[in-house]
Amino acid sequence: MGQAISRSAPASWPIPTRHASTRKPFIRPRLFSALLGSTMWIYLNDRFVHDHEAVISVFDHGFLYGDGVFETMRSYGPRLFMRDRHLSRLFQSADAIGIKIPTPLAQWADILHEALVRNEVGNDHQDAYVRITISRGVGEIGLDPALCSSPTVVVMTKPLVPPASCLYDHGVTVKVASTKRNLPSALPPRIKTTNFLNNILAKQEAIAGNAFDSLLLNWEGHLTEGTTSNLFFVRDGRLSTPALDCGLLNGITRQVVIQLAEELHLPFEEGYFTVDQLYQADECFLTNTSMEIMPVIAVDRHAIGSGEPGP
């Protein structure tokens, strides 16, 4: 693929005339790469551009309304973990909200490979973090999807920065958020949309409570998931996780854990669980693609099992 600059990206940005004010000095986007010490290649609408050229319109409905979908992946060396499952879910999410992704599914493997190579990640020396974002596109202000003629497609890749090793060694604490999970009939959590306000509000509660993350309950008081992770716990040798119809994302790592449990013939159940049941667990952990499996040693200051990772 060529290195042509997006037509929507200006070659340079004007510096506004300075006036006496309390505003911070304006920094041109081109300078951000210099400040960070590197340049990132971004895939934007069929072409790769430098990060300072990856400009999206203020009329993009992803910016205006959170109208879009996304996927995140990680690599182990050059191999993207469960790439095809992630891409399949991306297309399913887009289809669920009526966005037709302009790039055929068959082309995505090559695009992602080139993104990794250009940014020198996803190799024997550096695992990669990948995010694909698809928005409704640019259009006049208004909620009608027909206002947008074509979706905006963005791929970002960067070095994967996993959580600190001490968190895996010693475990993390989580809290149950007062923020409830979206009703599936209102905004189905199975659709991975860019509108993450529900999750952000719960994450704010975790930060305020010095917790690693928050767990969200649904409208009936049943456990669902973390803000960016799925929940598992073990009680009396049985692995349990909230059922999908509690209102949660069917995480790719969640699917893998369930698959492994079935292959190993481990006692397993999906169901409707309360916080009190979680308090009585012998073991608990969170899963997502980038952090893999994170042990939880306490929920709302209630120790899980021995208060240490593992059974």
Predicted confidence at residue 20, as pLDDT, reads: 37
Q: Which of 249, 240, 90 is nearest to 184 (CA)?
A: 249
pLDDT of the residue at 164: 96
Q: What is the model's pTM?
A: 0.86
Do 181 and 248 form a contact (C-beta atoms < 8 A)?
Answer: yes
- Domains and their CATH numbers in the chain: 29-159 (3.30.470.10), 165-303 (3.20.10.10)
Instruction: Give ∠ CA 223-166-164 in degrees, rounded to 5.
Output: 80
pLDDT of residue 10: 31
**pLDDT at position 202, please?**
98
Alpha carbons 210 and 147: distance in angstroms, whole number: 43
**How many Cβ atoms sit within 10 Å of the Cβ of residue 250?**
15
DSSP letters spanning the chain: ---PPPTTS-SS-PPPPP-SSSSPPP--HHHHHHHHTS--EEEETTEEEEGGG----TTBHHHHH--EEEEEEEEETTEETTHHHHHHHHHHHHHHTT---SS-GGGHHHHHHHHHHHTT-SSSS--EEEEEEEE--B--SSS-GGG-SS-EEEEEEEE--PPPHHHHHH-EEEEEEEEEPPPTTTS-TTS-BS--HHHHHHHHHHHHTT-SEEEEE-TTS-EEEESSSEEEEEETTEEEEE-GGGT----HHHHHHHHHHHHTT--EEEE---HHHHHT-SEEEEEETTTEEEEEEEETTEEPTTSSS--
Instruction: Read off the tokens for 48.
Output: 């790769």
pLDDT on residue 25: 37
Q: Buried b / exposed e across 211-230, counting CB within 10 Å, b at 16+?
A: bbbbbbbbeeebbbbbbbbb
Q: Show pLDDT as tens, one digit a residue, over the chain (311 residues).
A: 444 333 333 332 333 333 333 333 333 444 444 445 568 999 999 999 999 999 999 999 999 999 999 999 999 999 999 999 999 999 999 999 999 999 999 999 999 999 999 999 999 999 999 999 999 999 999 999 999 999 999 999 999 999 999 999 999 999 999 999 999 999 998 999 999 999 999 999 999 999 999 999 999 999 999 999 999 999 999 999 999 999 999 999 999 999 999 999 999 999 999 999 999 999 999 999 999 999 999 999 999 999 999 87
On the 0-12 / 13-18 / 19+ scale of CB atoms within 10 A, 136 is buried
* pLDDT, position 182: 92
Q: Is 147 exposed, middle or buried (0-12, 13-18, 19+ CB in 10 A)?
A: middle
